[in-house]
Structure 1
Amino acid sequence: MGSLVALKALRLPNNSIYGDIPSSLQKCSNLGLLDMGENNLSMTIPLWIGEMKSLTILRLRSSGLKGHLPLQTCQLSSLRVLDLANNSLSGPIPKCLNSINSMAMPHVENYETMEYFEDAGTYFESLMLVPKGEELRYEENLIFVSIIDLSSNNLSGSIPNEISVLFQLNFLNLSRNHLTGKIPEKIGAVKELESIDLSRNHLSGEIPPSISNLTFLSYLDLSYNNFSGRIPLSTQLQSFDALRYTGNPELCGAPLITNCRKEQEPDGDTPVGKAEDESNTSRFYIGLGIGFALGFWGVCGALFFKRTWRHAYFRFVYDMKDQAYVTTVLKVNWIYKKFKKLSFW
């Protein structure tokens, strides 16, 4: 097969092929599509795969692959479809994914790798993919698809932040692995994303607010992880079924029926102005209490322990009472006489 230097597409899916991917294929420098899915390879992805610079589609789905996802995969700068789902791949996801220029830079539509001209007419390459949980056939529109599907493997570690720079990525499926950590904070920068499936992992933390910027998002599944906090508000996120968020006990907010408690300030801190107001109020009440205690015992204590002061105080009170009584009686008599005089006239 290595002598087929002009070979542009090799499709051998759903057979009983076993063993390794033949190393002679690295001589096929024009190969744009390699599909050996649904076989029994039971080997690792060869390191020489990075030398196939023209490779646009790599589909090795359900092929029994083992080992790690090699860093050489990041050298496939023309790659737009990476489908390695349903294998036994282990280890972390490479952090060099931002080196795949076709996913990070605006598409340069290379019709030559997908469209072939023959005497009988034009032939478009087709491919079966699972972009939104359902298997779909792509033909003429295959050139517009950009997908990373690493679902149903044994991958571990965190989701690389470098995924946030794959601005042309349409579909991301990392479900059914052993991934940990958080969703990249800048995931919302991948504006072309239409589908995200991170279900059945061990991811944690809050759902980043930037995910609400994905205006084309039509499929989302974050179920059965350890996410917490409030689901960000957006037109899309609240429109998905609650089942897409289930299995996260500490997650709350619509569309879940779990209401969020009153949100605390970040890191448990209160705003500076609010803290100052509460501090001033506390000092006021403390001072008021101390002042009342000192004033009360300063007067009552002196009267209680000093007999002469106590007698003088009560004498003063009686005198004031008598003076008030006399003043009141005289005033009432004066008013009475005044009215009596006016009525006489």
Structure 2
Amino acid sequence: MTDTLADSRTTSRMFLADVPVVVDDVQRRSPTERAELLADPGFGRYFTDHMFVARYQAGRGWYDARLTQYGPLPMDPGTAALHYAQSIFEGLKAYAQPDGSVATFRPEANAARFVRSAQRLAMPPVPEEAFLAAVDALVDADRDWVPTGADQTLYLRPYQLASESFLGVRPAHEYLFLVIASPAGAYFPRGVQPVSVYVSEDYARAAPGGTGDVKCAGNYAASLLPQQEASALGCDQVVYLDAVEKKYIEELGGMNLFFVHGSGDDAELVTPELSGSLLPGITRASLITVAQDLGHRVSERKVSLAEWRDGVLDGSITETFACGTAAVITPVGEVKARSGEFSVGDGTPGPLTMRLRETLLGIQHGRVADTHGWLHQVS
């Protein structure tokens, strides 16, 4: 059984000042079917009823913004994104709040990074206010898909791709901007447990002057082979070193890394500095602020693999964790490299790691005061 919206119509919501959002007739899944899917949503397995789509054409700009049925995209075999990888994306979440409302977390930061990604790939940027309007429109339309279970969220994936059909190495003249949504369960359904990581010394995630500081699809395609190698060695994730000297820690897969020096109230956090090849994570930036609010010193600087190993062995580095939108915080427990293996801590998540995780999750879900104005109310 499905529920149906009214016929296609233009709403008062605007994508841009001169581009209204059109709402198409959409077949909604029944409350019963939706409840069954939300009971165990997993991550990225199911998608909501709507998607947001807007088109761009050189000389015309952005046009035809609409909320429409989630479904396949018709695509010509010559579509530029398939050949030259002009494709970027973002990831953010909508959170059910204690008062029944829904809020997204720091979407302005995602909008700004989306612009930077587009500029780096010679794509026409989606204006920040249009990005926010599109996300708000989809969350509002699929409000019933926002799960309310412990640490459950609605994951949002805005993305842009070159849609012109041609074969030739140049920026495309036509683009699609889309936003889709997927309900997400708790990332650690059996509790937060430290992961094992493999230090890749054969592959670099990104190089200075490359695309490491933006979210383009090619960055993630290039990470799949190193991840396979890590899995074959019994590890959960890959740690990448810098591409020049191959000695400094950069990222863990698609997440930023933090190292905890010392313990208790005097513990200091150290995270690799943004060098131009590191992605400036929004969770990373948020945790720096949260840690400082809790009274901890935070340093952004180069951290070598040797410093990490020596610090763990002499006890000066007590915890290590990775952070990102999907998992928020992932403790690191075991590290494997050609030069040897070592374990961080006692095999359980560290106290500061867990305190930071609970504080940030508390802000996102409305359980802890949002003193920085990070929550954006949608509905």
TM-score (norm: length of structure 2): 0.25
Larger Rg: 1
TM-score (norm: length of structure 1): 0.26
Structure with more of its chain in strand, by fraction? 2
Structure with more of its chain in helix, by fraction? 1
